[in-house]
Amino acid sequence: MGTTGTDVSKEASDMILLDDNLTTILHAMAEAKGIYHNITRFLRFQLSTSVAALSLVALSTLFDLPNPLNAMQILWINIIMDGPPAQSLGVEPVDADVMREGPRAADVPIITRDMLKRVVVSALLIVSGTLFVFVNELDDDWQVTKRDRTMSFTTFVLFDMFNALSCRHESKSIVFSVGIGSNKAFCVAVGASLVGQLMVIYVPFLQATFQTEALSMADLAYMTAIASSVFIVDEVRKWWEKQQYSVILGRWTTTKTGGGGQRKKKHSKVCDDVETV
């Protein structure tokens, strides 16, 4: 104890509670679990975006397609679009149910098999959606125009934002459980990123730099609908896993209750025999 403890005990101890309150340990454990989860969210988002960007360029080269993104657009995605949302994931509020989780083994890697599966699925959706938009915009002679790259560029960025939103929690629905506005820093980061993307599309001198052109509201709605698929798929995954968990928990509870009833019946029979004697 930091206040009432002796100097000798403080020197011999590994941890000192400055406020002499044991509940401080619980708060520290919850904060540590929250930090760990935020690190995994950051990694999942960055890995899925990086894998998607590399795969997009690699597949375009492999199938002899024009590159959907130019060099400036790739730099914009890696530096501007990824940075603020990823950093805001690092300050996600600690989940209220975090202390219900069991202890994590020390030898469990931070990049687990489940995380890699989610990274691959997200990257696959991002690449597929971006290539779908890009190929549909190409002319029959496969000549790339500013509009083609603007469409694929903006689609990738929107995928990025929806992917960041889905990374905010591993198992809870962002819409129905976590709350879209619960992380103010995330809302500001995504809002600033979207404003920056709109400037790249509509401000003349930025259009010249990034080789883009203005898009219509119908184009933006079309790309938003496609890009939201990465978020919708992840929300469906969370719902499905929750349903599976509820079924397993229900079976376990039923089995346990049934066993308890049998024990209670045996106990009553023994009591009746004792009374008879």
Q: What is the CATH number of the domain that holds 49?
A: 1.20.1110.10
Asked whether residue 132 carries a pLDDT value surpassing 90, the answer given is yes
Tell me which range, 29-33, 91-95, 149-153, 248-252, is most confidently predicted by mean pLDDT: 149-153
Q: Containing domain of residue 100, as a range?
A: 7-234
Predicted local confidence at residue 3, as pLDDT: 63
Whether 253 is in a domain gets the answer no
- Show the tokens assigned to 250: 């229900």
pLDDT(10) > 80: no
Cβ neighbors of 233 (< 8 A, separation 6 or more) are 121, 125
Per the structure block, which two tokens stand in for 245? 């968990």
So what's the pLDDT on residue 96?
A: 80
Please choose, from the candidates 47, 161, 179, 50, the residue with its C-alpha nearest in 3D space to the C-alpha of residue 114. 47
Tell me, yes or no, whether 106 lies in a domain: yes
Residues 18-26, mean pLDDT to the nearest whole number: 72
Using an 8 Å Cβ cutoff, are 86 and 78 in contact? no
Polymer length of the chain: 277
Query: For all residues of the chain together, what is the average pLDDT?
Result: 84
Within its chain, how far is the Cα of 212 from the centroid?
A: 30
Q: Of the candidates 218, 48, 207, which has an alpha carbon nearest to the alpha carbon of residue 119?
A: 48
In a domain, 222, yes or no: yes
What letter would DSSP give residue 6? -
Q: Residue 3 in contact with residue 18, Cβ under 8 Å? A: yes
| Residue 262, in any domain of the structure | no
Q: What pLDDT was estimated at residue 2? A: 54
Please check whether residue 267 lies inside any domain of the structure.
no
Structure tokens at 158: 């929107």
Nearest-angstrom CA–CA distance, 36 and 149: 38
- Determine what percent of the chain is predicted with pLDDT higher than 90: 48
The answer to whether residue 247 is domain-embedded is no
pLDDT of residue 258: 56
Asked whether the predicted pLDDT for residue 196 surpasses 70, the reply is yes
pLDDT: is 5 or 13 the higher one? 13
Rounded to whole angstroms, the Cα distance separating 168 from 186 reads 9
* Residue written as token pair 């962002």: 174
In this predicted model, which residue has the larger pLDDT, 276 or 157? Answer: 157
Structural domains of the chain, count: 1
Say yes or no to pLDDT of 20 above 50.
yes
The model's pTM is 0.82
- Distance CA(277)–CA(271), nearest Å, equals 10
In a domain, 68, yes or no: yes
Q: Is the pLDDT of residue 266 over 80?
A: no
Q: At what angle do helices 23-62 and 146-166 cross, to 10 degrees?
A: 150
**Inter-residue contact 115 to 122 (CB < 8 Å):** no
Q: Is the pLDDT of residue 262 over 60?
A: no
**pLDDT tens per residue across span 68-103:** 999 999 999 988 888 889 999 988 888 888 888 878
CA distances from 180 to 9, 35, 118, 198 (A): 47, 20, 20, 22
**Per-residue model confidence (pLDDT) at position 134:** 94
How many C-beta neighbours within 10 Å does residue 20 have?
Answer: 12
Whether 246 is covered by a domain: the verdict is no
Q: What pLDDT is stored for residue 43 in this prediction? A: 94
